[in-house]
């Protein structure tokens, strides 16, 4: 039985309580995780606050912060295989994905390492002749970062990287479902040489999140997860008036016109909805396909879906592993059954796989005869695709925008003018054209509506962790006149 520790103020320690972590591939307990108490949360925030105001961190130059982040990036790259194994064991995400993704996580820290001393202020051409006015960008303070279990290292990098580059300190709450890679990441961070308390990593249930997000010393909350939890966070932030950045769920449309390269589009759709076992906020879970090519597209897609290798997540041959939790699997079955009752046609998959673990096959539902099917509006967080067809461009836009989410979208067409029209019309924070599910540290990532607000990635993310200070300097040597002497 493995046992993990929390990381507070530069020290690894056991929590008062622990909880079991389940291996999704077997359904068996494999590790004990620290269950932070309210007292632990308060100590972590106090450590972050003390570090924020300490001379060691507060007086460190931005260039020096960047060098520490660069060193951290190198350590992450070296430790990527170990981190990948832990993420696969604790979440069920297949090893071929965790290995590639975690290796790329180092690039996010390298990007923010280089950006640390390029977060600039501005000089204002003020309308007062005897004044010089400029703006300073300063770190916002202690950041509460909360990440879900899927892609924890990536979703942490897009918060920790820009926050530390800006000069903030962080308390990160890892998901209680699969926290092993983040608790191991703490050991790698500890080796990089940051001052104590700059980053603290804890995990636990709802009380941990509520205490953290409402703590009076927290200045900003960066959250990735579902809309319902986000609503609680916003309510909690009313206590400390912390600013928030919320990267939430999605029900992304994957739009294919009849002039698209069908082989490319089919492959992108397979990757977009079945990769990561569908457990991705940008999953292209709504196929919006032109009616004239619907049958051919679905035939190709169904053939590829049914050929996908389902198996143990630590096997490099596996293409789809288990879902992370039994609750997810049960939810998928319930929503699919309900959608079929509402008129959707099950084309493949749709039933839990017997045996150990939380395995669920790639599933396709034809919803042309069921426009109100649950599968079209609910985020499954599993390998489930709902298909609807359209005849005209206007109809495609209407279908794409029939959602309260607004995170990502995909568009496949060879018509350049149509592509530009669609880009303007689709209400989503990301539009991928003739590609899908591509990310980079240079490009902002985020949505609107129930998909949240704020951006992660790019310089925009770093600016979210700063506040503006206006500085006025009087340049005249003349005495300031007495305001109460009449002239």
Encode pLDDT of 314-330 as tens digits. Answer: 999 999 999 999 999 99
Residue percentage of the chain with pLDDT more than 90: 95
Per-residue pLDDT of 162-174, as tens digits, reads: 999 999 999 999 9
| Angstrom distance (rounded) from CA 465 to CA 37 | 27
pLDDT band at 7 (very low <50, low <70, confident <90, very high): very high
In tens, the pLDDT along 410-465 reads 999 999 999 999 999 999 999 999 999 999 999 999 999 999 999 999 999 999 99
CB 144 within 8 A of CB 242: yes
Q: Could you tell me the pLDDT band of residue 128, with boundaries at 50, 70 and 90?
A: very high
Phi and psi at 385, nearest 5°, equal -115, 130
Query: What is the mean pLDDT of the segment spanning 202-221?
Result: 96
Angle among Cα 5, 29, 146 to the nearest 5 degrees reads 45
Calpha distance 104→316 (Å, rounded): 18
Instruction: Tell me the average pLDDT of the chain.
Output: 96
CB 377 within 8 A of CB 418: no
Residue 341 CB partners (closer than 8 Å, separation 6+): none
Provide the β-strand partners of residue 221.
144, 244
Contact in structure between 8 and 16 (CB atoms under 8 Å):
no
Handedness of CA 145, 7, 5, 67 (dihedral sign): positive
Supply the pLDDT for residue 78. 97
CA-CA distance, 132 to 473, in Å (whole number)? 5
**Is the predicted pLDDT of residue 18 greater than 90, yes or no?**
yes
Domains of the chain, by residue range, sit at: 2-247+457-472, 253-433
Tens of pLDDT, residue by residue over 140-161, are 999 999 999 888 999 999 999 9
Residue found under tokens 């029939």? 402
Residue with tokens 């916003």: 234
Distance separating alpha carbons of residues 295 and 302, to the nearest angstrom:
10
Region 369-374: mean pLDDT is: 94
Q: Are 111 and 441 in contact (CB under 8 A)?
A: yes
Interaxial angle between packed helices 95-115 and 62-91, expressed in degrees from 0 to 180 and rounded to the nearest 10:
170
The tokens for 75 are 């350590």
Residue 375 — very low, low, confident or very high, per pLDDT cuts 50/70/90? very high
d(CA 273, CA 8): 38
The predicted-structure confidence for 334-347, as pLDDT tens digits, reads as follows: 999 999 999 999 99
Considering 49, 97, 247, 379, which one is annotated as catalytic?
Answer: 247
First to last CA, the chain: 85
To the query of whether residue 247 is one of the catalytic residues in this protein, the response is yes
Give 180's pLDDT tier (boundaries 50, 70, 90): very high
SS (H, E, C) 99-157: HHHHHHHHHHHHHHHHHHHHCCCEEECCCCCCEEEEEEEEECCEEEEECCCCCHHHHHH
Say if strands 28-35 and 2-3 run parallel, antiparallel, or are unpaired: parallel
Dihedral class, residue 446 (left if φ above 0, else alpha if ψ from -120 to 50, else beta) = left
Q: What was the pLDDT predicted at 23?
A: 94
- At 12 the pLDDT is 98
Strand 452-453 relative to strand 28-35: parallel, antiparallel, unpaired?
Answer: unpaired
**Do the domains 253-433 and 2-247+457-472 match in fold?**
no
Topology (CATH level 3) of domain 2-247+457-472: Aldehyde Dehydrogenase; Chain A, domain 1 (3.40.605)
pLDDT digits (tens, 9 = 90+) for 97-126: 999 999 999 999 999 999 999 999 999 999
The backbone torsions φ and ψ at residue 264, rounded to the nearest 5 degrees and listed phi first, read -65, -45
How far is residue 178's CA from residue 207's CA, in Å, rounded to a whole number?
Answer: 18
Kindly give the pairing relationship between strand 384-390 and strand 410-412: unpaired
Model confidence at 53: pLDDT above 90: yes
Q: What was the pLDDT predicted at 486?
A: 79
d(CA 180, CA 437): 25
Helix (H, G, I), strand (E, B) or coil at 204: coil
Q: What is the pLDDT of residue 485?
A: 86
| d(C-alpha 290, C-alpha 277), whole Å | 26
CATH for the 253-433 domain, from 3.40.50.2000, 3.40.50.2300, 3.40.50.300, 3.40.309.10: 3.40.309.10
* Whether the predicted pLDDT of 190 surpasses 90: yes
CA distance 141 to 469: 14
Q: With contact defined as beta carbons under 8 Å apart, do 385 and 401 qualify?
A: no
Are the C-beta atoms of 4 and 32 separated by less than 8 Å?
Answer: yes
Give strand pairing partners of 65. none
Residue 36's pLDDT band (cuts 50, 70, 90): very high
The average pLDDT across 65-77 equals 98
Q: Which of 328, 312, 332 is nearest to 320 (CA)?
A: 312
Instruction: Give pLDDT, residue 1.
Output: 77
> What is the model's pLDDT at position 205?
87
487: pLDDT strictly greater than 80: no
Task: List Cα–Cα distances, 390 to 122, 371, 400, in angstroms.
Answer: 49, 12, 10
Q: Match 């300063």 to its residue by tokens.
A: 138
The DSSP result for 241-306, as a single string, is: T-EEEEE-----EEEE-TTS-HHHHHHHHHHHHHGGGG--TT---EEEEEGGGHHHHHHHHHHHHH
Q: Is the pLDDT of residue 279 over 80?
A: yes
Separation CA 167–CA 142 (nearest Å): 10
């Amino acid at each position: 039985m493995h046992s993990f520790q929390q990381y507070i103020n530069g020290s690894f320690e056991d929590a008062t309580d622990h909880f079991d972590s389940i291996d999704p591939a077997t359904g068996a307990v494999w590790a004990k995780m620290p269950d932070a108490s309210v007292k632990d949360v308060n100590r972590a925030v106090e450590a972050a606050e003390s570090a924020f105001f300490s001379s060691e961190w507060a007086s460190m130059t931005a260039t020096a912060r960047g060098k520490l982040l660069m060193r951290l990036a190198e350590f992450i790259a070296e430790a990527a295989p170990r981190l990948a194994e832990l993420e696969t064991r604790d979440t069920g995400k297949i090893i071929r994905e965790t290995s590639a993704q975690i290796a790329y996580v180092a690039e996010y820290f390298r990007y923010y390492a280089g950006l640390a001393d390029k977060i600039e202020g501005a000089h204002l051409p003020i309308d007062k002749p005897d004044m010089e006015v400029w703006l300073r960008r300063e770190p916002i303070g202690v950041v509460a970062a909360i990440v879900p279990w899927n892609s924890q290292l990536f979703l942490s990098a897009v918060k920790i990287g820009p926050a530390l580059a800006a000069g903030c300190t962080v308390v990160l709450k890892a998901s209680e479902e699969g926290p092993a890679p983040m608790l191991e990441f703490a050991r790698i961070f500890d080796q990089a040489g940051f001052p104590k308390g700059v980053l603290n990593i804890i995990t636990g249930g709802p009380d941990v999140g509520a205490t953290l997000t409402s703590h009076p010393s927290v200045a900003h909350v960066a959250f990735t997860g579902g809309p319902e939890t986000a609503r609680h966070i916003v309510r909690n932030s009313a206590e400390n008036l912390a600013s928030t950045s919320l990267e939430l769920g999605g029900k992304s449309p994957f739009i294919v016109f009849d002039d698209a390269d069908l082989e490319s589009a089919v492959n992108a759709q397979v990757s977009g909805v079945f990769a990561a076992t569908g457990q991705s906020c940008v999953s292209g879970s709504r196929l919006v396909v032109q009616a004239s090519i619907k049958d051919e597209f679905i035939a190709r897609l169904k053939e590829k879906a049914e050929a996908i290798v389902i198996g143990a997540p630590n096997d490099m041959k596996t293409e789809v592993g288990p879902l992370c939790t039994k609750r997810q699997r049960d939810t998928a079955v319930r929503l699919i059954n309900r959608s079929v009752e509402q008129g959707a046609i099950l084309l493949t998959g749709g039933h839990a796989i017997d045996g150990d673990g939380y395995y669920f096959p790639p599933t396709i539902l034809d919803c042309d005869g069921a426009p109100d099917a649950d599968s079209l509006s609910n985020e499954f967080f599993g390998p489930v695709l709902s298909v609807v067809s359209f005849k005209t461009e206007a109809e495609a836009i209407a279908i794409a925008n029939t959602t309260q989410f607004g995170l990502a979208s995909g568009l496949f067409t060879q018509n350049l003018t149509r592509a530009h029209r669609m880009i303007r019309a689709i209400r989503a924070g990301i539009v991928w054209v003739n590609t899908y599910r591509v990310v980079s540290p240079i490009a902002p990532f985020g949505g609107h509506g129930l998909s949240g607000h704020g951006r992660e990635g790019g310089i925009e993310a770093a600016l979210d962790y700063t506040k503006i200070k206006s500085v006025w300097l009087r340049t005249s040597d003349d005495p300031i006149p007495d305001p109460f002497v009449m002239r």
